[in-house]
Each structure stands twice: as structure tokens, then as C-alpha cells.
Structure 1
Amino acid sequence: MSMLATPRETALSDSATLSELVEAQGIRFVLATFVDMTGKPCAKLVPASAVGMLERDGVGFAGYAAGSIGQKPSDPDLITLPDAASFTPLHEIKPGLAMVQCDPHVDGVPWKYAPRVILKSVLARLAERGITAKIGAEAEYFLVRREASGALAVADAKDASARPCYDARDLTRMYDHLTEVSTILNGLGWANYANDHEDGNGQFEQNFEYAEALVTADRLVTFRYLVQTLAERRDMTATFMPKPFTDRTGSGLHMHMSLWDGDTPLFPAPDDPRGLGLSPMAYRFVSGLLAHAPALSAVVTPTVNSFKRTTAATTASGATWAPRKATYGGNDRTHLVRVPDGDRVEVRLADGSANPYLAMAALLTAGLSGVDAAADPGEPGSGNADLPPTLLHAVEALGADPVVSGALDAAGDGVAAYYAQVKREEFLAWHSQVSSWETDTYLTAF
């Protein structure tokens, strides 16, 4: 018999306390989790006997040691307080294990550098306007192994065809891994509705139903943990790195976004004269996304490796499936913003390295800036603005964009500047390394 929670049981998290959920689910230990700005999951393992203390007092972390989250070694501890609504039993990972997402605080105040705190601040601004954001996310990843030489290789050696996308044979060889993930997602009530082989050898995608923005962000953090943990059991590595292979398609984190007033969707308009089924508000939202695309790149494509995906000329399969210009259109996967249906817009810029909380905060803020400005994106397919070619260019664009910087500063000033400096240092650390490409190209060239 499965020890997974049923959808009915997980729904209790809306009203039940964490202690009640732990007792009802037979939980022995809880991963009290938060992420730093890079998206690294940080946690302490709290026994069920101490969950009451966790609820009351939180649990402390040395923030500087945890990662990029705005702290120095001399700063007070981050005290993370759990959000019972995010409680997720993970019996299939370890019997009696659960995960709960937490909000870091310092000196009793929500920590302005904490990504979850930032997204909650942006969502609070939306709530003041009577707006709810709902988001679905397509999280692509590769299953890989290290060869004896140290080289990275696709985990399934037989997954080597030139056009592997949707190949039933490649999919079936990973059946055990994919179905285990699917079973867990459905047991949690996330409604996994498709699992497929993507365009790159060794690349997969497993979809679950959209939800309110914070719920989807929390689920993405848990999803990555699940996929990586289950892959390790089979001696594989699941990587959300945007471009692990030079000649293959990169991994995106496509965001399907919509705004709602209660139960009323604000994006659909069947009488849209442009034929995409979008309301004037939706077009204005798209305009905001396109206008701020360069600065958004620093947040939704946040690594040096990200720009190997967005600047790729082609791949072995013949397409990159990543936008190269800030354009929008209908059911056309070459655009930065695709409109598959009139009820939502799909942002195809974000990649697997994006921190889901920061990405959603920035995208929603940029889109709403277009709504407030009553901006118009022009006809579908129009616009030809280039995206930044490197992380450093994107960071420079972020510094010049008060709207996207304002999203990162939603919980307090100084966060955007800190984030930009972290990313600038990341770029320069990479740039200072002498690569094999350089020695191959220059060693005897002069």
C-alpha cells in the first residue's frame, strides 16, 4: 500500500497546523527548507517531537554559510518559520519524511533577501489590486552520468538518435524513473498530466497542473529535490543546468501565466481582433514582459551557462527552442512570449537554473508595469529587440531597469544591487578561467 498522501489529505494544509499534519501523516522528520538566491535548497532535519518548537520559534541557520542570501559571517542567524500550507509528505523518498517551505526572518522581521519573502511581497501588491496570479511551469531536465574519464554523458547510452524528441523507445527505457516521479506527484494531488522525452538526448519533462504562483514556486523547489533524489537512486544525475551539452537543446523553465479577479480570468477575450484570444489587459502584460526582457534575463536566465542556451545558433536536432529576440506571437515556439491559448501567456525565456520565486516576482512585476502603462506590444510577431548575449550584459540591463530591480527590492531596498554583484562576480569567476577552447584555439596560433 502506498504511503503517499491523497489529494484530500494534502488539502488539509490550508487550515491545519504543521503539528496536526505531521501527526496525521505519520511523519517522523521534517525538512524545514528555504532556498538562497541561486535556488539552492537549504534545510534542517527536524524530528516530529520538535515540530511544535519549529512552529513557535523557527529554526536557525548561519545565513552566510547557507549561500547567497545577503548575509555576512558576523550577521545574526536566519530564523526560518514554516508555512504549513506548503507541507509535503515524502514517504516515497524516506518513510516518515516530509518537507515544508519556510520564510527566513532576522531579528523578528522577514528577511528581505529571501526569495520566498520577495515573491510574497510582490503577490501582496497584486492582492491590494484584487488580482491573483496563477502560473504553470514546464521544468525540463537531463538525466546524465559521468564516464570513467570524467566526461559528462547521457545516462541512457542508447538514447543517441539525431531526433530523440517524443521517441517512445527512449521514453520507455526511463519508465521506472518517470513513473515513480509521476506516481508521487499524483499522490500529492499535483495532477501530473504528461511525461515526455524532450528534444535533447537524455532530456525529459514532467508536467503538473498550474496553481497560484506561490504554490507553483514551492512545488518547483520540491519537484527538483524529488527528481534529483530519485535519479541518484538509479546512479544517475538529474540536472536542471540550462545547457549541459554544447550540441544539444538546453533546458527551459517555461512559465504559463495568467491573472485572475477571484474566479474570473482576466486574460481571455474571444472577440480579440488580433485573433489570439487575449484581452487588452493581457496584451499590456505582454508588452511589459517584452519591454523589460533584457533585465529579466538577469533573473530568469541567471547563470553563465544560461546564455549558451539563448545564444545557440542551432543544435543537433536542428532547433534550439529558446528565444533569441524579445517578440511575441501565437502558437509559435520561437517567440519569447507564446500564446498557446487565450487564457494564458507562456514565457519561454526562463531556464532550468532560474530561482522560481525570483523569476515569478520579476515576471509579474514586469508584466504589471505594462498594464499600468497601458502599453501595447504591437501586432503579433513584431518587435526585434535583442536579448543580452552574456550574463554580464544582463546584469548591466538589470542595473538600468528600475522595474525589474524593484521586483527584487520588493521586501526592502538593496537586494537588487546585492543580487547584481553576486551575478557579476559569478561571471568574472568564469571569465577568469582558461578553457580548453582557448588553448585549442590560441596555443600555436601566433
Structure 2
Amino acid sequence: MKLIGIAASNRGVMEETIKKIEDQDIKFVLASFSDINGASRAKLVPSARLESVCKSGAGFAGFAVGDLGHGPHDPDLLCIPDLRSMTVLPWKKDIAWFAGTLTEDGSAWEHCSRTILLKVAEKAKKLGYVMKTGIEPEFFLLKQDGDGNLSPFDDLDKEQKPCYQQQALMRNIEFLSSLINNMNELGWGVTQADHEDANGQFEINFDFADAITSSDRLTFFKYMVRSMAEERGLISTFMPKPFSTLTGNGCHMHLSLWDEQEKRNLFEDQFDGKGFGLSDTAYHFIGGILYHAKALSAIVCPTVNSYKRLTAMDSMSGATWAPNIIGYGGNNRTQYIRIPDSGRIEFRAMDGTANPYLATAAILAAGLDGIENKIDPGEAFSGNLYRLQSIENELNRLPSSLKEAVEALEQDKVLISMLGEDFMNTFIARKKEEWAQYHSFVSNWEIEKYLKGY
């Protein structure tokens, strides 16, 4: 697939973008892409050079970024901005951000996570499907003292069950309202914001869109939240479990499949015999996700810390709000896959350290496999799944560690093939290294527990 020049080939789109840049007096653009971990990398380009960058790409030494399939001897990787993703920084209005796709010698680069999502989305489209997603990112707003200790920015936010606490919400109104205004200025359609289950934790909900647009927006959202926090001398984090006793950060994904014209929701069926308002297509999609759940975990929960969120027994509030049983059901937040309404499902395992493009591609790939093979998801679960304990259910549990998840991914030929074997081999190798580094590191907890007592 040749990409050089594609971004600039549509003269109408290019001319419209240039006019926007001139009308809004934009001085610079960020040609940005995501590395293997989902972190944004970019070059700052004078806006007058945008058209040439779209034609020939902004050059990056791939080895300097790490894990992009390049050595120090390889030629530059070229980032081609996607003009449709143009996002003016609300807090710095003379700069525009563009999500980019990496190329080498004019061809799509298989180690680019946005390219991986584009390829899986293209396969889905050939089958007649367009996936739409709505993301619910959670984050902490923190401060750091002189000794480096982190705590919630709001000193009065100390309740045991602070979720939806109105006073805490209003004490943080300056940051939250500024963030919401920025998002609405970008046309994202914020629906609501709330104080979440942990002290210092918040969530912003905004309108759903096609999977690629939503992934671009989540990538920019994380950058925006961090930038706004830094401006105020604060720290924001999407880390899954930053505090031992508090609920962790999830990044729930609501999703559905639509027809090629994006006019008909293929997940919706008002005559569903199970009473959830879902079609057979939706149930097979769920079946695919459940079938690949353990392998998916390595991608949607990709860090050592992720499993301290997934496997936590309880938090100070009394619930972790993270799934641990592989199953699905109705409007029940202990589920792995929740059905909050007809025509859509909520995938609750993903956390904020997941690469948005790679995680979305993996979920879509698993669901498509479910549709292709008509995988039956089985019966829906009900009740409090946190209290469901049995030997049988041990087999239906999510992995308890990154090591276990990576081992499952290594055996999942479908996901490896769909996401690209060369890239997945690199991803798996890096995650094994991450586990080895963690396992060999002596923590303060170990010193305090074992240094004198044994």
C-alpha cells in the first residue's frame, strides 16, 4: 500500500486545510505518530511547509524512537500527516496537531500502530463493517511534594466513597471546565464529566465516532490533559493502578458495527430473544472477544501495573470496578463485556496505558474472528462477579500477570496474523523484557518486609 503523496493527492482537502491554517493564523504544525506504547512522537513544522511534508513526509530516525523495526543503520521513517485529523491546540491556537502514519520507501510501515488499525479496519470494511467506538478515559489529577511523594491535588478529597461527590467535582471545576470547553471547541461533543471512584480521579465522556477518529482523539486527549496539568504545576496520570488502596484507571470502550454507509447499526435487534437488543452479529463479535480474551489482555492491559488493577481484591471504596471473569451480561459493571443498552457493548478491561490504535485493532480483529467463525458467547452472567469463586471459574479468569497474558498472546495465531507477525514478535519480545525487568527489581515493599524480619 503506497502512502507517499496520498495525504496531498486530494487537492480539495489540501486546499481546504491550507485555507484553515491561513484563516486561523496557525504558525506551526505537529506531525505526530504513536510509538509501540502509544506515546506521541512529533516534529514541529512551520505551517508553510505542511504541503511538502504531506507529499514527502517528516523524517524520523526509527531506532531513536525504539521498537519500530529499525536499527541505527536504517533510513528514515517518514510520517505522513492525515489531513482529516487536523486538531488546533485549544491552549495554543497557533499550533495544529496532525495524526500521522509511518512509511518507508513510500509504503505503509508495518510497525506503525495506526497503520495496523487502518489495515484491520479496511478488512472489516471489505466484509461490510465499520466499527464505531466511544471511549471513557479515566485519569488522576495529582500534586508532588518536595520529597517526590504523590497525592491527589485536592487536599479535601479524602472520602472513602468519593464517586460523584459534588463538592469534590466543584473544587476541581477550573481544570474540568477548561478541559470540557477545549473538547467542545474541537467538536467532540462532551456528554458528561464526573468525579470517579478514587480520590483525585476523574472521567470525561464524549461522542462516539469511527474507530480511527476515536483513536486519534484519545491520543490527543491524553496529550491535552497532561499539557493542561503541567501548565498548572500538576501531574495527570492514566496509569492503571497508581495507589495500592484506590480504584485504578480504566479506559472503557463502547463499540458497535455499522454498515459501509455508517447509517445502520448492525449490532441492534429489537427482537433479540435474550432481551439485550443485540443481533446475532453482535453476539458472534462478543464470542470472538471472549475467545481471545486472555491474549487480548497483553494488548489492552499492556503493563506490569495493569494487572494490579485487574486482579485487585478490593479498593478503599469497596469495589475495583475492573473485570476479572471472562464473560458478558447486561447493565452490570462487574462484567468483562457489559451491555448498557441495545445496539452496543462496553469492553471494560482496557486501561489507559494501552496504545489506542493497537488496542482498537486487536478488539476489532478478535470480533471479526468471532463473526467469521460464528463463535457462540454462551450464556450471559449475572450477579456480582467479584464474589463468584469456583474451580471452574478459575479457567474463565483474565490473566493475573503480564507474563501470563503475553504467553497467551504468543499462542494466538489469529491475532498475530491479523496485527502483523513481524510487529507482534517485536511487541511480545518487549513485553517479555518488561516482565523480566520488573521481576528482577527489588522493591521497597520487599526491603521493608524481608530485610530484618527473616
Q: Shorter-chain-normalised TM-score: which range?
A: over 0.9
Establish whether residue 423 from structure 1 lines up as the match of residue 434 from structure 2. no
Shift of 1:25: 2.6
Q: Matches of 1:21 and 1:109 in 2, distance apart?
A: 29
1:5: which partner in 2?
A: none
Q: Matches of 1:24 and 1:117 in 2, distance apart?
A: 31
2:57: which partner in 1?
A: 58
8 Å contact from structure 1 (residues 28, 48) kept in 2: yes
1:399: which partner in 2?
A: 410
2:113 to 112, 115, 121: 115
1:325: which partner in 2?
A: 325
Within a 5 Å distance, the mapping from 1:167-316 to structure 2 comes to: 167-261=165-259, 262=261, 263-316=263-316
Q: Matches of 2:140 and 2:355 in 1, distance apart?
A: 18
Counterpart amino acid of residue 324 in structure 1:
N
Q: Could you say what secondary structure the match of 1:153 adopts? A: strand
More moved, 332-341 vs 17-26: 17-26
2:141: which partner in 1?
A: 143
8 Å contact from structure 2 (residues 21, 47) kept in 1: yes
Shift of 1:14: 6.5
2:86: which partner in 1?
A: 87
Q: Matches of 1:48 and 1:285 in 2, distance apart?
A: 43
Q: Matches of 1:295 and 1:239 in 2, distance apart?
A: 25
2:358: which partner in 1?
A: 358
1:7: which partner in 2?
A: none
8 Å contact from structure 1 (residues 38, 68) kept in 2: no
Q: Matches of 2:404 and 2:381 in 1, distance apart?
A: 25
8 Å contact from structure 2 (residues 67, 426) kept in 1: no
Q: Matches of 2:257 and 2:13 in 1, distance apart?
A: 22
Q: Matches of 1:36 and 1:288 in 2, distance apart?
A: 27
1:32: which partner in 2?
A: 31
Q: Could you say what secondary structure the match of 2:248 adopts? A: coil
User: TM-score, structure 2 length as denominator?
Assistant: 0.92
Q: Could you say what secondary structure the match of 2:271 adopts? A: coil
Q: Could you say what secondary structure the match of 1:308 adopts? A: helix
Shift of 1:93: 2.0
Aligned length: 431
More moved, 102-111 vs 299-308: 102-111
Shift of 1:15: 7.4
1:128 to 114, 126, 129: 126
8 Å contact from structure 2 (residues 287, 376) kept in 1: yes
8 Å contact from structure 1 (residues 25, 89) kept in 2: no
Q: Could you say what secondary structure the match of 1:375 adopts? A: coil
8 Å contact from structure 1 (residues 240, 251) kept in 2: yes
8 Å contact from structure 1 (residues 30, 100) kept in 2: yes
RMSD: 1.5
Q: Matches of 1:21 and 1:34 in 2, distance apart?
A: 22
Report the CA distance shift for 1:237/1:217 in structure 2 as closer, same or farther (over 3 A). Answer: same
2:398 to 370, 387, 397: 387
Counterpart amino acid of residue 380 in structure 1:
A
Structure 1, gaps ≥5 residues long: 1-12
Shift of 1:340: 0.3
More moved, 252-261 vs 69-78: 69-78
Q: Matches of 2:299 and 2:13 in 1, distance apart?
A: 30
8 Å contact from structure 1 (residues 18, 51) kept in 2: no
Report the CA distance shift for 1:130/1:16 in structure 2 as closer, same or farther (over 3 A). Answer: farther
Report the CA distance shift for 1:198/1:214 in structure 2 as closer, same or farther (over 3 A). Answer: same
Counterpart amino acid of residue 281 in structure 1:
T
Q: Matches of 1:356 and 1:97 in 2, distance apart?
A: 23
Counterpart amino acid of residue 235 in structure 2:
T
Shift of 1:17: 5.0
Q: Could you say what secondary structure the match of 1:386 adopts? A: coil
8 Å contact from structure 2 (residues 77, 104) kept in 1: yes
Q: Matches of 1:70 and 1:157 in 2, distance apart?
A: 45
Counterpart amino acid of residue 184 in structure 2:
N
What do residues 12-49 of structure 1 show as CA deviations (whole Å, max 9, x unaligned)? x9775543332233211101100101011001111112
Q: Could you say what secondary structure the match of 2:191 adopts? A: strand
1:436 to 444, 447, 450: 444
Within a 5 Å distance, the mapping from 1:17-28 to structure 2 comes to: 17-28=16-27
Q: Could you say what secondary structure the match of 1:179 adopts? A: helix
Counterpart amino acid of residue 392 in structure 1:
K
Q: Matches of 2:153 and 2:70 in 1, distance apart?
A: 38
Q: Matches of 1:146 and 1:162 in 2, distance apart?
A: 22
Q: Matches of 2:276 and 2:397 in 1, distance apart?
A: 24
Counterpart amino acid of residue 430 in structure 1:
Y
Report the CA distance shift for 1:75/1:17 in structure 2 as closer, same or farther (over 3 A). Answer: farther
More moved, 49-58 vs 324-333: 49-58
Q: Matches of 1:150 and 1:181 in 2, distance apart?
A: 26
2:338: which partner in 1?
A: 338
Identity of aligned residues (%): 45
What do residues 183-242 of structure 1 show as CA deviations (whole Å, max 9, x unaligned)? 111111110110110001000011110000000000001111111101111111111111
Counterpart amino acid of residue 19 in structure 1:
I
Q: Could you say what secondary structure the match of 1:238 adopts? A: strand
Shift of 1:359: 0.4
Report the CA distance shift for 1:67/1:17 in structure 2 as closer, same or farther (over 3 A). Answer: farther
8 Å contact from structure 2 (residues 330, 340) kept in 1: yes
What do residues 87-135 of structure 1 show as CA deviations (whole Å, max 9, x unaligned)? 0111x32131110011111121111000100000000101111211100
1:104: which partner in 2?
A: 102
8 Å contact from structure 2 (residues 14, 51) kept in 1: no
Shift of 1:53: 1.6
8 Å contact from structure 1 (residues 17, 84) kept in 2: no
User: TM-score, structure 1 length as denominator?
Assistant: 0.94
8 Å contact from structure 2 (residues 120, 419) kept in 1: no
